[in-house]
Amino acid sequence: MAEAERIIDTPDADDAGGKTAVAAERPVGRRKILALFTVAVVAYLLDLGSKLLVVAKLEYHEPVKILGNALELTVIRNPGAAFGVGTAYTVIFTIIAAAVIVVIARLARKLYSLPWAIALGLLLGGALGNLTDRIFRSPGVFEGAVVDFIAPAHFAVFNLADSAITCGGILVVLLSFRGLDPDGRIHRN
């Protein structure tokens, strides 16, 4: 099989002793786990801090207008997903967020790409931010409503965790289209 045609993670039939070509293709360098967790912690703390601040200063008050009518800060409690969809399924969204965190933690062991570390860190920080609300905010554990407060005109109200998740998701799509794998390898199809 030609080198360019070899499928990643498949054994090379010509290897002596049954060793696979995968060992030779593994990336060199350090894993990017620290970068992933640094981005996740920063995203999480920014989300948590902003929610604590807006709940303390803005809840039960008139919205604060920024940029005229283009953007305002107002506190709403969202028990559902994006755009208020699925308000009766708060427990399901809690389970999904926990599953995303577990998947990212497992991917971290094979992470050698800095762009993937940033993307997954954003996803992890955002998922942790909204999961914290779902666990610790009223009406109760696993049923808590997420605090949303950024309200652009003619758009849904969201928070910094939602922004981190969206940016991380877009970055994952772009990296996938470019052929960059989390382990640092590039594949072309």
The 10s digit of each residue's pLDDT in 31-63 is 899 999 999 999 999 999 999 999 999 999 999
CA distance 189 to 187: 7
**Predicted structure pTM score:** 0.80
Look up residue 4 and give its DSSP letter.
G
Alpha-helical regions (H) of the chain: 22-25, 33-58, 90-107, 114-136, 160-178
Catalytic site residue from 47, 133, 162, 183: 162
Q: What's the full length of the chain, in residues?
A: 189
pLDDT digits (tens, 9 = 90+) for 128-154: 999 999 999 988 887 888 999 999 999
Catalytic residue among 133, 148, 181, 183: 148
Q: How confident is the model at residue 166 (pLDDT cuts 50, 70, 90)?
A: very high
First-to-final CA distance of the chain: 16
Catalytic-residue membership of 15: no
d(CA 187, CA 148): 39
Domain definitions of the chain by residue range:
30-178
Examine the residue annotation and report whether 14 is marked as an active-site residue of this protein: no
Q: Find, among 107, 104, 121, 119, the residue nearest to 178 by Cα.
A: 119
147: helix, coil or strand?
Answer: strand
